[in-house]
Amino acid sequence: MSPPSPRPTPTQRLQAAWLRRGPLAVALLPVAGVYGLLHALRTVLYRAGLLKRHRLPVPVVVVGNVIAGGAGKTPTAMALVRHLRRTGWHPGIVSRGHGGRAEGTRPVGAASDPADCGDEPVLMALRTGVPVQVGRDRVAAARALLAAHPEIDVLVCDDGLQHLRLARDLEVLVFDERGAGNGWPLPAGPLRESAGRRADLLLYNAPAPSTPRPGFLACRAVGPAVPLANWRAGRTDGMPLADLRGRRLMAAAGIAHPRRFFSMLAAQGLEFEPCPLPDHHRYAALPWAGRDFEAVLVTEKDAVKLRPGPGNEPVRVVTLDFEPEPGFFAALDSRLEKLRRR
């Protein structure tokens, strides 16, 4: 068994409180009421046409969630892009670039600096090979992307469910094991908006549905441990995790739910020192520096912020195999075909 995890951070304690209606959640209910009211008012203004939606000349597929934190939006967006390319589309990706410090909009490539444009957009550019554009204003980012790449005939917007200025043709709503949590809005609960929000397709990034709503399941599994330099060069072949059993290991994860990564490694029979880090951690200092580990296992989201070289020799990137069930893609194709004919 792996050693016990370090004490949870304040953010992790708040996320744990969102799963039940305990004292902390109850204390935050007045603020949650204000948040819910403001969100409802904004939605009404868009539906009434008092706030303008901007429609683009190509179909827009938005991937998002109603529960705060990492529900699996980025793996879903990448799986969508891979499927679209297989079926003859020419997709592009638009993202807010959360965690990036750049202003305005900008293109993102595999060699872009995650500190400028966010770690998830760089990961999507590296793993999908399609054009990516980031910007707080998704409409401006989408228009810049289409102007630079006229071959794009469908846009995938990562984490854009609540960005109502961008008109969309198809919405994909993602839930993970948490379902709707305690069912309350932020900050008393995890909900950005109602858990009953309508969407065209609903995908569970979980072994089984976590809400009463019907939807499709996604299969996720950890792949091999790939040397950092090889992974950054686009290779995903590496050492099977079973070969790391019995070795001195650290597992580091700067993601929304590090325990999810640690649990998947433990399920492979690995013993390791867990190193949970804040979401979008920038690795200004290396947690394993000066430590004697035979391998340091990191997620792909962490790997985009690390460079091969001194200090990172033991780093191995654990790839994630994420694939929605076939029925999800069949439903997606049916809706996209209607858009194509239209």
Q: What is the mean pLDDT of each run of 10 residues along the chain (342 residues)?
A: 55 80 92 93 94 96 92 94 97 90 90 93 96 95 98 95 94 96 94 93 96 96 96 93 97 93 96 94 94 97 95 96 95 91 72
For the four alpha carbons of 195, 163, 217 and 16, in that order, the dihedral sign comes to negative
Cβ–Cβ under 8 Å, residues 242 and 270: no
Beta-sheet strand order (sheet of 91-95): 105-108, 132-135, 91-95, 154-158, 60-64, 170-175, 201-204, 216-227, 315-324, 295-298, 249-253, 273-276
* Alpha-carbon gap, residue 166 to 176, rounded angstroms: 25
Residue 3 burial (CB < 10 Å; 0-12/13-18/19+)? exposed
Pairing of strands 216-227, 201-204: parallel
Q: What is the pTM of this model?
A: 0.92
Q: What is the pLDDT of residue 11?
A: 72
Q: What is the pLDDT of residue 6?
A: 57
* Residue linked to tokens 């590296």: 126
* Residue linked to tokens 């939606």: 53
Q: What is the pLDDT of residue 341?
A: 76
Q: What is the pLDDT of residue 340?
A: 79
Q: What is the pLDDT of residue 149?
A: 98
Residue type for 179, please? G
Q: What is the pLDDT of residue 313?
A: 96
Residue 328 Cα to chain centre, angstroms: 18
CA 332 to each of CA 91, 96, 202, 260, 339: distance values in angstroms, whole numbers, following the listed order: 14, 23, 11, 28, 11
Pairing of strands 315-324, 216-227: antiparallel
Q: What are the chain's domains?
A: 46-214 (3.40.50), 221-320 (no CATH)
* Alpha-carbon gap, residue 266 to 261, rounded angstroms: 9
Q: What is the pLDDT of residue 334?
A: 95
Residue 114 burial (CB < 10 Å; 0-12/13-18/19+)? buried
Q: What is the pLDDT of residue 1?
A: 44
* Alpha-carbon gap, residue 249 to 31, rounded angstroms: 43
Q: Which residues on neighbouring strands pair with residue 157, listed in sequence order? A: 62, 94
Q: Which residues on neighbouring strands pair with residue 203, listed in sequence order? A: 174, 216
Cβ–Cβ under 8 Å, residues 109 and 148: no
Q: What is the pLDDT of residue 339?
A: 84
Tokens matching residue 55:
């429609």
CA angle 32, 37, 38 (to 5 degrees): 100
